[in-house]
Structure 1
Amino acid sequence: MEIFAPYARATLTLLASTGLVFGLLALVVKRNRIVEAVKLSRREFMTNLGLALINAIILAPLFVFPGNAISGALGVNETLAGLWDGVWKPVTLLLAILLLDLVVYWRHRLEHHPLLWPIHATHHADTTLQWMSTLRKHPLSKLLSVCVDMLLVLYLGVPAWAVGAALLLRSWWAFFIHCDVPWTLGIFGNVLISPAAHRLHHIRDEALMGSNYGNTVTLWDKVFGTYVDPAPYLDCETGIAEGTRGVAGELMRPFEKRYWKKTSDETEAPA
């Protein structure tokens, strides 16, 4: 049981701190509607909590091995790693944020491809989007992110302090953009992914769902043509056609024949 203890402490600390911050935010924003909002989101919140505990505590020790194996096989580019000493620290941090978000953008975008959608659909199933929706991930989707997301910064030898700071910012920003607030962030929303922009990514409309893949910045969505202004879609309906489920249902979702039949049909269809 000792192997799970560090993961349990880290997870419970994260849940307690984010719960306090975003719980207070919900209370301030919703005020007299908070009780109704809690009732509406209670079942999905518990599903998200269950998946978070499975991924971050029970399966976390297993995720370490493939993640380390892949990054170890890729190695570090020693020539590029040596260049970071001469870079101004604020620039180093900014580049770490942008590089992490670049990989997250493409990993996330590929998860919307029919081949990977069955493991990503769980994340889109919430009909009451809230901060804990961030942690609503199927273990296979979580494993993919563990194996892929840090490869570029590790290969480039980005300093550990910058990677750590960028990961912390990315984590908290992910909780923020899943909050049920119709905020576009004004002029800052041109640079940063806002809660409204990410809610649009979770929209029930599957065509518009293919937009705003970034986690922290809008740069890569704008560069690759997938950014959509969220202003016309504030408070849009979220979820997927297959509906939301409990923990067991979400764990089994990717293995249903209808998902793979649909995937096979779409990938074999002529252009």
Structure 2
Amino acid sequence: MNLQLQNLLIGSIILGFAAMEFATRRYQQSVRADANDTKLEVLMFVSLIAVTQPLALLGANWLCNGLMPGMRGAWSHLPWWAMAAILLVADDMTQYWWHRASHTPWLWPLHRAHHSASYMSIRVTYRNNFFYYLMMPGLWSAGVLLYLGFGKVYGVYIVVKMLVILGAHCAWRWDEPLYRVRVLRPLMWVVERTISTPATHWAHHALTNADGIGHYKGNFGNLLFFWDVLFGTAHITRKYPAKVGLEDDRRFGAEHWAAQMFYPLRHSQRQHTALRFGGQAYGDQDAATDATAAGNP
């Protein structure tokens, strides 16, 4: 697939999901974004497309030229299905583990921006810290595979991946009506265990796990939800959390977009924060302690 066609398809996917968000009025009813949100989301998307992704892909190409100059295009003879399988492991599975690691205290500051939105929409798909993407193993491994000759298959792969992950974040819950069609239930059983869907990914963005729907400590898959099934982090309910976002932002106010995007270069001034050295996020234990102190055990 040539680059122009790839970009045309990705642009069409974005516009298609945006249109469905508005046509179903899900965007108007659920997205409550302010200028702080918009700056973070726009600047992160632009920086990913214009800086981070080219830097990782070109950086990987430069390293390959230096370390294995005779290997350019060496794997181009592989069948498409073998290339797709390699991409799923080298890009998507590594992204699962990177995402999972980013929910540990050490890497959480680089990922919390993705969860700080109190709404779900395609606009939050690439809402993250700048260094979260710069350090993502999948981007660098994709650069190596492009050097080895995966160009055409990678173009198709990235279009399919964008279709799935944009759909998983979309305010329009495309899977919801399909669960109600009896004849589709066996198919949806397979689908929801294979790719990320709104139901499984919204659960990952949930404000709380207390309702049995939220599962922000699992459902880490990006293209394939199968990694969650395989590695024991899957939680499937076919329901959607009532609220998404972060409890500390609800209690103490949103973090400034610059701290969310550029930590550790920019630190937060908030009391409860993960966005400064030595800082600690407001978590489940804090909420439980506050509830008990208020007489609501």
Residue 21 of structure 1 is matched in structure 2 by: 16
> Which of 202, 215, 218 is equivalent to 1:211?
218
Residue 201 of structure 2 is matched in structure 1 by: 198
> How many Å separate the matches in 1 of 2:143 and 2:48?
23
Corresponding position: 1:85 with 2:77:
yes
125-134 or 67-76, larger mean C-alpha shift: 67-76
Residue 266 of structure 1 is matched in structure 2 by: none
> How many Å separate the matches in 1 of 2:22 and 2:128?
26
> How many Å separate the matches in 2 of 1:234 and 1:159?
37
CA contact (8 A) 2:200 2:235 kept: yes
> How many Å separate the matches in 1 of 2:67 and 2:262?
32
> How many Å separate the matches in 1 of 2:149 and 2:58?
22
Which residues of structure 1 form unaligned runs of 5+?
A: 1-8, 264-271
Deviation at 1:246, TM superposition (A): 4.7
234-243 or 110-119, larger mean C-alpha shift: 234-243
AA partner of residue 240 (structure 2): L
Deviation at 1:90, TM superposition (A): 4.1
68-77 or 200-209, larger mean C-alpha shift: 68-77
AA partner of residue 19 (structure 2): L
Corresponding position: 1:189 with 2:199:
no
Corresponding position: 1:261 with 2:278:
yes
> Which of 144, 149, 156 is equivalent to 1:154?
144
Change (3 A) 1:68 1:91: closer
How do 1:228-239 and structure 2 match up within 5 A?
228-231=235-238, 233-239=239-245
Residue 289 of structure 2 is matched in structure 1 by: none
> How many Å separate the matches in 2 of 1:63 and 1:98?
18
> How many Å separate the matches in 1 of 2:219 and 2:88?
17
Instruction: State how many pairs are aligned.
Output: 246
> Which of 214, 220, 223 is equivalent to 2:230?
223
Quote the RMSD (CA, aligned, Å). 3.7
Deviation at 1:226, TM superposition (A): 0.8
Please report the TM-score for the alignment, with normalisation by the length of structure 2: 0.67
Which residues of structure 2 form unaligned runs of 5+?
A: 179-187, 281-297
Larger radius of gyration between Structure 1 and Structure 2: 2
AA partner of residue 17 (structure 2): F
Deviation at 1:229, TM superposition (A): 0.6
> How many Å separate the matches in 2 of 1:65 and 1:159?
15
> How many Å separate the matches in 2 of 1:262 and 1:76?
45
Change (3 A) 1:20 1:61: closer
Deviation at 1:199, TM superposition (A): 0.9
Deviation at 1:250, TM superposition (A): 2.0
Q: Quick check: which one's helix share is greater? A: 1
163-172 or 119-128, larger mean C-alpha shift: 163-172
Change (3 A) 1:189 1:48: same
> How many Å separate the matches in 2 of 1:205 and 1:76?
50
Deviation at 1:55, TM superposition (A): 3.5
Residue 240 of structure 1 is matched in structure 2 by: 246
CA contact (8 A) 1:196 1:234 kept: yes
CA contact (8 A) 1:170 1:216 kept: yes
Residue deviations 1:218-239, cap 9 Å, x none? Answer: 22111111111142x4144211
Change (3 A) 1:59 1:214: closer
Corresponding position: 1:135 with 2:145:
no
Residue deviations 1:56-96, cap 9 Å, x none? Answer: 33666655565445666775996xx55x7353x34543553
Deviation at 1:141, TM superposition (A): 0.8
CA contact (8 A) 1:105 1:215 kept: yes
Deviation at 1:122, TM superposition (A): 0.9
CA contact (8 A) 2:193 2:229 kept: no
Identical pairs, percent:
20
